Amino acid sequence: QLAEFGAEDPGYLNTMNDLANALSNQSRHEEAIAIYDEVLATRERVLGPNHRHVLEVLINRGWDYHNNGNYDAAEADVGRAMDLVNEGIDDNGIWRAHALRLQGAVALMRGRFDDAEGMLLEAIELGSKVLLRPHIEIVAASRSLGALYTSQRRLDEAERFFRQSLEETEQIYGQLHQSTIGANVMLAGLQMAREQHTAALARLDEAVAGARVLDDPTLEMDIQFVRFQALEKLERYEEVIEAINATRPTASDFYGADSLQIGVLALTQGNAAFGLGQYQESVDQHEQGLRIFKITVGEGHPVTSRSRLALAKAHKSLGNDDMARPLVEEAIARLTGALSPDHPTVVEAEALLSSLE
């Protein structure tokens, strides 16, 4: 197409856009972003900056930025996309629903839970009006809302949205599909929040088996990350450390050494080392995790605060109370307002601070 029609041909640009979508679905986000950059620049030049096809690329590229941990860029893209929607380019509300879901997902990763909840609820409400259910857009918004409620310990509400998501995903794709497996992984996360760790591990093992049948190593790796957390909660610490050490080199090559995924591995391995009484190793892992979380999700996100608390506990066990105390104080300051006073993480932080006084 490029040789015959040139780089400004609509058919060529549509094919390039489809290629970027395919790369995105394979988690090859940097490659997808590079192609979206080319498509966006050409469409802006040919069609002008205020066109529906420009809006489409902004949202698609915004998701790749989000999934690659670049939340500033994702927020910039979806902000510009919403400006175009508000200017009237979106005549039926579909693109507003798309943009709201991306805005909500970014706000969730930033720890702006009230904003995220409002955006995701609006995305579901609007999507239910302008899209035929079951629809993957509504399913995805429901999953994000379930994740938000899980983080806030609103577990009954989380389960309602997760089960709705699973039911509709099965209607769309069937049981043996990446999206259906992903919905089951989210339910496993909810089971872990309810401290049903054995049931969660069984669900995750089934998910791993499904990923292997589909021959999807990326999906399997994502599931294994959650599975490691379930093993850690079951106090199978040596198994956790052995599995993470075997996985980390491949994960670093695939996601990047400073990716959110590697931060999660460091947090999980640090907790396992703490459980084995290997406190200096725990400090080393949690320092790495905290550094990565500051880069990827920012200072104010609850996972960054949980990382601070884990590092503080390890320092306290080494007798380094002077190093532990400021970490706990900062975690409490960051958590205030983000989570309710009776949230387990807040309660744990307050108790840890009292033990240091």
Contacts made by residues 167-172, CB under 8 angstroms, sequence distance 24+: 167/134, 168/133, 168/134, 168/135, 168/138, 168/139, 168/142, 169/134, 169/136, 169/139, 171/134, 172/134, 172/135, 172/136, 172/139
- What average pLDDT values come out for the chain (357 residues) when binned by 10 residues? 66 90 85 94 92 93 88 93 88 87 89 90 92 88 93 92 95 94 95 96 97 92 94 96 94 89 95 97 97 87 92 96 96 83 87 93
pLDDT at 291: 97
Torsion over CA: 142, 258, 220, 266 (sign): negative
Alpha-carbon distance values, 152 to 157, 182, 191, 344 (Å): 10, 21, 14, 9
Residue 133: helix, strand or coil by DSSP?
coil
Question: What secondary structure, in 3-state letters, does 330-348 show?
Answer: HHHHHHECCECCCCHHHHH
Query: Amino acid identity, residue 50?
Result: N
Q: What is the pLDDT of residue 3?
A: 59
Q: What is the pLDDT of residue 152?
A: 85
Distance from C-alpha of 282 to C-alpha of 323, rounded to nearest angstrom? 14
Phi, psi dihedral angles at 212 (to 5 degrees): -70, -40
Q: What pLDDT is attached to residue 304?
A: 92
Looking at residue 2, what is its pLDDT? 57
The per-type count for the chain, helices as H runs and strands as E runs, is: 18, 0
The CA radius of gyration of the chain, in Å to the nearest whole number, is 21
The per-residue DSSP string of 167-220 comes to HHHHHHH-SSSHHHHHHHHHHHHHHHHTT-HHHHHHHHHHHHHHHHHTT-HHHH
Whole-number Å distance between alpha carbons of 301 and 113: 10
Instruction: Record the pTM.
Output: 0.78
Q: Are 65 and 73 in contact (CB under 8 A)?
A: yes
